């Protein structure tokens, strides 16, 4: 039997028991003598025996001590754990509270409440996210009350982290014993199997979902790099059935500002995907709230929210006097999609931190090491850079390229031959050429052209290749931005690319490739970026500016200001009305909108069956698979004894008062 005290400091009050004992013995020694002139006229009275009187006083003292001790013990909040075996342990309940289980299968999940025990036995409740989890022992009654209101989180990416956390809690609470773990999950096929140590006693409770189709939007894009006013374009929507049943004659509808535009009928087998095209034309330069709504029975993810808008023109910067300046200017100068700027080197470096857009350079010898580092950092913040070598490169320039512009998986090296080679036709299935090749005016210009070569590289995404397989133009990711590199001088007379019909659309595509407005098409992720419009000006002191508002909800995310954008993080625990349109408020700036959707992986309805789970853990006697009602719940809740000690104290005081009253009554009767 284990006894603990909630307020052990009150136990020092037991020292006060010595006070009544001291008073008792002082009272025994203090006697007084009354003198009378003659006592013959006084009537005699019977007297009690001395032994009975002493016994009465001792019993009275005992009850007085017991009453005081019980009162002090009551204030110290004693608790008794009860009789337990040496190998007994706490019970741990892990609930896989990901969105797909709590929202996609809410009926089955809530039904588990009826199988939970109504008891004061202790249990540790753990969830996917440790951010706001309470690891103090709860009773099963408290768990039942919390069950319907549990918040949602991401799926478990690493079950080992949960198991390790339980092991550390158990080591603190009851080291040396066997942990009893109850693991509640729908065991999705997209998540790894949890593995448990041999000293864990584990009971797996699978929550089986219904058989149903689940049509979700996998991605959206448009056939044009940039939405232009009054020009029709096709909104391309990739959908997928990630349910566990074929979809038959279901519908997916497109709404713009809550007005229905078009509806497509869908027939998809389990796991199958397809592309849909919705024809759209925008005339106003305003933001339009768009939704794709499916009619399947999985309610939490049947609305995909996004925003459409005609973006602002993109800034293009070219260094004055470049050999390709006159050719580049013909691409961008008279196009409303772009603002073309010809700048000198000093102006470029002085204003680089304030610029955002597309920069083209052909001679890195003009820039110092620090200047090239600044340009590299500018790209990493989400901008685009194009390098066109105008002459053979020496080892010094190659080293500068690799030092500042080499990203993961690529390296630049010198081309020795400087040969002129034929360049292959673009690959039609390449995503870069999707919008270009849909324009019929360019299809007839798909013919090979020649180009010289000053530079080679490994890695990157090839856009054009020579006939010998070496790259002519490639794209590289550098931080949040893009780097495009040509192998030679495209303005050279022997080079025919600048005369080719693809010259203009390829440069436009490069400039527009990174022009996505992040707050108009953001989809859920653990971290997201909010790019500030170019007219927004911020000082370094304005860091914590972003506040997200949806209806009456207001939330300030964890955020970091980079100088041109905010890197924000969603909370690990989510509310049910998380998805939809949010307003982005930035102090005294213009209010912006953000479209947020649940993670695509949370919509995955395919789970392992109970039989598959049993087969996976076959041969492991410490792991059982079954219903919640079959779990052998163990452990006892600590019993609070404070009330009983209060009652005992009251009883002892009442007995003491009765003895004092009775003693006085006898004394008065003897005096009559």
366 touches 390 (CB < 8 A): no
Examine the pLDDT at 513 and tell me if it is beyond 80. Answer: no
User: Phi and psi for 359 in degrees, rounded to 5?
Assistant: -120, 135
Note if the pTM is more than 0.75. no
Q: Give residue 494's Cα distance to chain centre.
A: 55
Three-class secondary structure of residue 268 per DSSP: strand
Q: Which two tokens stand for residue 493?
A: 């007379």
Please tell me the least confidently modeled range out of 30-39, 250-259, 515-524.
515-524
Please check whether residues 303 and 319 belong to one and the same domain: no
In the predicted structure, residue 84 carries a pLDDT above the cut 80: no
Of the two residues 296 and 567, the one the predictor is more confident about is: 296
Q: What is the CATH number of the domain that holds 275?
A: 2.60.40.10
Examine residue 518 and state whether it is found in any structural domain, yes or no. Answer: no
Is there a contact between 125 and 146 (Cβ–Cβ < 8 Å)? yes
Residue 126 phi, psi (nearest 5): -125, 145
On the question of pLDDT at 496 being above 70, the answer is yes
Residues 202 and 222 reside in one and the same domain: no
Residues 135, 49 share a domain: no
**pLDDT tens, position by position, 236-289:** 898 999 988 999 999 999 999 989 999 999 999 998 999 998 988 888 767 889
Give the 3-state secondary structure percentages of the chain, helix then strand then coil, rounded to 5: 30, 30, 40
Q: How far apart are CA 26 and CA 40, in angstroms?
A: 33
325 shares its domain with 368: yes
Q: How confident is the model at residue 28 (pLDDT cuts 50, 70, 90)?
A: low
519 located within any domain: no
pLDDT digits (tens, 9 = 90+) for 436-450: 765 545 555 567 888
| Alpha carbons 114 and 629: distance in angstroms, whole number | 9
Cβ atoms of 635 and 90 within 8 Å: the answer is yes
Count of structural domains within the chain: 5
Dist. CA 373–CA 371, nearest whole Å? 5
With 90 as the cut, is the pLDDT of residue 330 above it? no
115 and 170 housed in the same domain: yes
Report how far apart, in Å, the C-alpha atoms of 364 and of each of 318, 367, 371, 394, 396 are. 13, 6, 10, 11, 10
User: In the Cβ-directed half-sphere of 101, how many Cα atoms lie within 13 Å?
Assistant: 29
Q: Quote the pLDDT of residue 86.
A: 38
Confirm whether 521 is domain-assigned: no
Q: Contact 115/182 with Cβ under 8 angstroms?
A: no
- Asked if residue 254 and residue 162 are part of one domain, the reply reads no
240 and 382 both lie in a single domain:
no
Query: What is the pLDDT at residue 206?
Result: 93
Domain range for 654 is 2-30+39-83+641-671
467 with 350, same domain: the answer is: yes
Both 159 and 283 in a single domain? no
């Amino acid at each position: 039997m284990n006894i603990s005290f909630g307020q052990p400091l009150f136990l020092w009050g037991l020292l006060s028991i010595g006070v009544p004992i001291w008073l008792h013995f002082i009272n025994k020694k203090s006697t007084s003598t009354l003198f009378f002139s003659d006592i013959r006229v006084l009537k005699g009275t019977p007297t009690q025996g001395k032994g009975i009187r002493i016994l009465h006083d001792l019993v009275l003292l005992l009850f007085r001590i017991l009453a005081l001790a019980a009162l002090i013990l009551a204030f110290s909040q004693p608790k008794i754990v009860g009789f337990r075996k040496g190998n007994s342990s706490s019970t741990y309940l892990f609930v896989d509270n990901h969105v797909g289980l709590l929202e996609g299968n809410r009926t089955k999940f809530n039904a588990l409440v009826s199988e939970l025990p109504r008891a004061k036995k202790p249990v540790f409740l753990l969830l996917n996210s440790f951010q706001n989890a309470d690891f103090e022992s709860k009773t099963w009654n408290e768990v039942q009350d919390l069950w319907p209101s549990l918040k949602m989180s991401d799926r478990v990416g690493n079950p080992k982290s949960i198991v390790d956390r339980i092991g550390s809690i158990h080591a603190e609470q009851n080291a040396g014993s066997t942990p009893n773990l109850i693991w509640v999950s729908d065991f999705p096929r997209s998540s790894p199997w949890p593995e448990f140590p041999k000293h864990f006693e584990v009971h797996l409770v699978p929550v089986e979902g219904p058989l149903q189709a689940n049509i979700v939007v996998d991605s959206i894009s448009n056939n044009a790099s940039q939405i232009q006013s009054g020009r029709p374009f096709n909104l391309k929507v990739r959908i997928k059935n990630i349910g566990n049943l074929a979809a038959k004659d279901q519908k997916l509808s497109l709404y713009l500002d809550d007005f229905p535009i078009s509806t497509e009928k869908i027939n998809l087998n389990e796991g199958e995907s397809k592309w849909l095209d919705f024809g759209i034309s925008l005339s106003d330069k305003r933001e339009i709230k768009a939704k794709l709504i499916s009619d399947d029975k999985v309610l939490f993810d049947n609305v995909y929210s996004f925003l459409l808008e005609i973006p602002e023109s993109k800034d293009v910067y070219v260094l004055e006097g470049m050999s390709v300046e006159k050719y580049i200017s013909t691409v961008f100068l008279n196009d409303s999609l772009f603002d073309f700027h010809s700048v000198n080197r000093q102006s470029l470096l002085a204003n680089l931190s304030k610029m955002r857009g597309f920069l083209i350079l052909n001679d890195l010898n003009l820039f110092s090491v620090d200047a090239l580092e600044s340009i590299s950092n500018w790209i990493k913040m989400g901008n685009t850079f194009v390098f066109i070598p105008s002459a053979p490169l020496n080892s010094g320039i190659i080293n500068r390229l690799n030092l500042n512009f080499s990203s993961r998986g690529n390296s630049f090296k010198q081309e020795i031959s400087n040969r002129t080679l034929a360049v292959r036709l673009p690959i039609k299935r390449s995503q870069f050429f999707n919008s270009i090749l849909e324009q019929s005016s360019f299809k007839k210009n798909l013919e090979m052209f020649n180009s010289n070569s000053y530079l080679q590289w490994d890695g990157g995404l090839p856009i054009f290749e020579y006939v010998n397989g070496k790259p002519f133009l490639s794209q590289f990711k550098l931080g949040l931005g893009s780097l495009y590199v040509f192998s030679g001088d495209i303005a050279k007379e022997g080079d025919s690319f600048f005369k080719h019909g693809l010259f203009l659309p390829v440069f436009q595509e490069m400039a527009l490739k990174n022009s996505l407005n992040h707050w108009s098409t953001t989809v859920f992720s653990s971290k997201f970026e909010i790019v500030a419009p170019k007219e927004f000006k911020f000082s370094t002191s304005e860091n914590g500016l972003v506040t997200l508002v949806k209806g009456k909800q207001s939330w300030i995310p964890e955020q970091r200001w980079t100088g041109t954008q905010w890197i924000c993080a969603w909370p690990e625990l989510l509310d049910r009305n998380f998805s939809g349109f949010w307003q982005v408020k930035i102090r005294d700036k213009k209010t912006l909108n953000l479209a947020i959707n649940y993670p695509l992986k949370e919509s995955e309805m395919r789970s392992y069956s109970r039989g598959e789970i049993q087969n996976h853990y076959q041969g492991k006697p410490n792991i059982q698979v079954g219903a919640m009602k079959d779990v052998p719940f163990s452990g006892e809740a600590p019993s609070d004894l404070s009330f009983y000690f209060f009652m005992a104290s009251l009883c002892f005081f009442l007995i003491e008062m009765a003895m004092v009253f009775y003693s006085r009554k006898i004394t008065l009767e003897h005096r009559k």
